[in-house]
Amino acid sequence: MKSESVTIEHVAAAAGVSRQTVSRVINGRPNVKEAVRLRVQQAVDRLGYVPNLSARRMGGARSYLILAVNDRQRTLENWQAGRGNDWVDQMLFGGMTECERNNYHLVFELIDTDPAKAESDLAAILSALRPDGVILTPPHSDNPRLAALLDDRSIACARVGHRNGVGCVDVYMDEEGAARAATGHLIGLGHRAIAFVAGSPNYGNSARRVAGFHQAIADAGHSSDAGQVATGDFKFDSAVAAIESMIVGSNRPTAIIADNDEMAFAALHVADRHGLRVPADLSVISFEDTPGVRFSVPPLTAIRQPTAEMISKACERLIAISAGADKGGSFELPYALIERASTVSPE
C-alpha cells in the first residue's frame, strides 16, 4: 500500500480547524489561541506532517532554500584531478549546519567562469529553484552583474571575500593581517631572510597577503630585501620553479610562506631535493590549512581560513533577511595561525 503524503488539510481535519489556522501554527504566527495551537501541534507531530516546499513557494512564501554558488571550472578541475576540495567541504559544513538549524536546505551549484555565461547560468538556476538567498564565492563574489541580477530579482545576496557590504551581506577574513601574523611569527623566531611564494598577482587576496608580508617586515624594522617575493600559480610545479630560483641565490631564505598548501608541499619537495632539513634549515608556513598538512612530514604550520564560519555567517544573515531583516552588512571573521612542526628558529 503506497501511502498518500499528508497535507495541511489532513492536519486541519485531524485538529478540527481550517487550513489557514494550521498554516499559522506551523509558521509561528501570532493570534492563535494557545489551546488551538497545542491541538494543531499535536496533530502535526502525530501525522508527521512536513510542509511541501514546492507548494509553499507557490503560495508566494519563502522557498526555504539557500543557494551556494561556486566556480564550475575551478571546482571541476580540482575534482577531476582527484585533488580534494577542502573549500567545498568547509562550505557545505558551515552552510548545511546553519541551514539545518533553521529548517532551510542548502543547494550547491556551479556556474561558468566567464562573467556573461556566469550571469545566464545563475539566471537559469534562479528561475528553476527560486532560492531565498544566494552565496557568491570567489571569483564570482567580485562580479557586479551577479549582484545586480540578484538585486533585480529581489533575492538576498551574500559575497565571500568581498568587503563592500552595501546591498549584500559581505563576509571575509583579514588577509593582510593574517600575512602579517605569519610573517611576524617567523620574525619572532629569529628569521631574517623570509620568502613569500605568491599564488597569483591578479587574485585580490594574494595581493593583500603580499602587502601584509611587506608590512610585517617593515614593522620589524628590517630592510625590504629581507623579504623576497616569488610568484607561482598556486600549482605544485610553479612553486617548485619559484622556490628553486630563490634557494640557489646568495641570500638563501631560512623561511618560506606559501600562498596555499600545494605550494607549501612544493617547498618540502625542493628542500628535500637540496638536502635541506625542514624545519631545521628551512621553516615553512602555508596559507590554507587543508587536511593534508597535518599528515605531511613535518606537519605544517599554517594560517587557517574561517571558510565554514564565513558561509555559516552568510547563511544566518540570508535567512534573517528573508525573515525581514535588513539586507547588507559586512562581517570580518577571524583567521588562526596554527603552529605545527614546520617552523622553528633558524640555526
> Least CB distance from residue 122 to a copy of itself, whole Å?
11
Residue 224 within binding range of DNA, rule CB under 7 A = no
Q: Is 103 in the site for DNA (CB under 7 A)?
A: no
The answer to whether the beta carbons of residues 9 and 52 sit under 8 Å apart is no
Half-sphere exposure of 179 (CA within 13 A, CB side): 27
Site for a copy of itself (CB under 8 A): which residue of 98, 289, 309, 316? 289
Query: Does residue number 227 form part of the binding site for DNA (CB under 7 A)?
Result: no
Q: Which residue in the block uniquely carries the three cell numbers 580540482?
A: 78
Judged by beta carbon distances under 5 to 8 A according to partner kind, the member of DNA, a copy of itself, none in contact with residue 31 is: DNA
- Please report, in angstroms and rounded to a whole number, the separation of the first and last CA atoms in the chain: 77
Radius of gyration of the chain (CA): 25
Query: What gap in Å lies between CA 104 and CA 115, rounded to an integer?
Result: 29
Which DSSP string do the residues of 300-338 spell out, in sequence order?
PEEEEP-HHHHHHHHHHHHHHHHTTPPS-EEEEE--EEE
C-alpha cell recorded at residue 152 = 533585480
Task: Choose the contact partner of 36 out of DNA, a copy of itself, none; CB within 5 to 8 A by kind.
Answer: DNA
Binding residue for a copy of itself, selected from 218, 272, 273, 339, defined by CB under 8 A: 272
DSSP string, 209-269: HHHHHHHHHHHTT--GGGEEEEE--SSHHHHHHHHHHHHTSSS--SEEEESSHHHHHHHHH
Which residues, 6+ apart, have CB-to-CB distance to 93 below 8 Å?
Answer: 308, 311
Q: Is 331 in the site for a copy of itself (CB under 8 A)?
A: no
Using CB under 8 A as the binding rule, whether residue 86 contacts a copy of itself is answered as yes
Q: Is 324 near DNA (CB under 7 A)?
A: no
One of 8, 40, 49, 285 touching a copy of itself (CB under 8 A): 49
**Interacting partner of 290 out of DNA, a copy of itself, none (Cβ under 5 to 8 A depending on kind):** a copy of itself
- The residue among 226, 224, 220, 203 whose CA lies nearest residue 287 is 203
Asked if 52 touches DNA (CB under 7 A), the answer is yes
Beta carbon of residue 299, minimum distance to DNA (angstroms, whole number): 50
Nearest residue (CB) to DNA, 150 versus 308: 150
Q: Does 80 bind a copy of itself (CB under 8 A)?
A: yes
Position among 38, 42, 58, 291 found at the interface with DNA (CB under 7 A): 58
User: Is-cis flag, bond preceding 298, omega within 30?
Assistant: yes
Is position 107 an interface residue for a copy of itself (rule: CB under 8 A)? yes
Work out which of 14, 23, 98, 260 binds DNA, going by CB under 7 A.
23
Give the footprint of a copy of itself on this chain (CB under 8 A): 1-3, 5-6, 48-55, 57-58, 63-64, 76, 79-80, 82-86, 88-90, 92-93, 96-97, 100, 105-110, 120, 123-124, 127-130, 152-154, 262, 265, 268, 272, 289-292, 294-297, 308
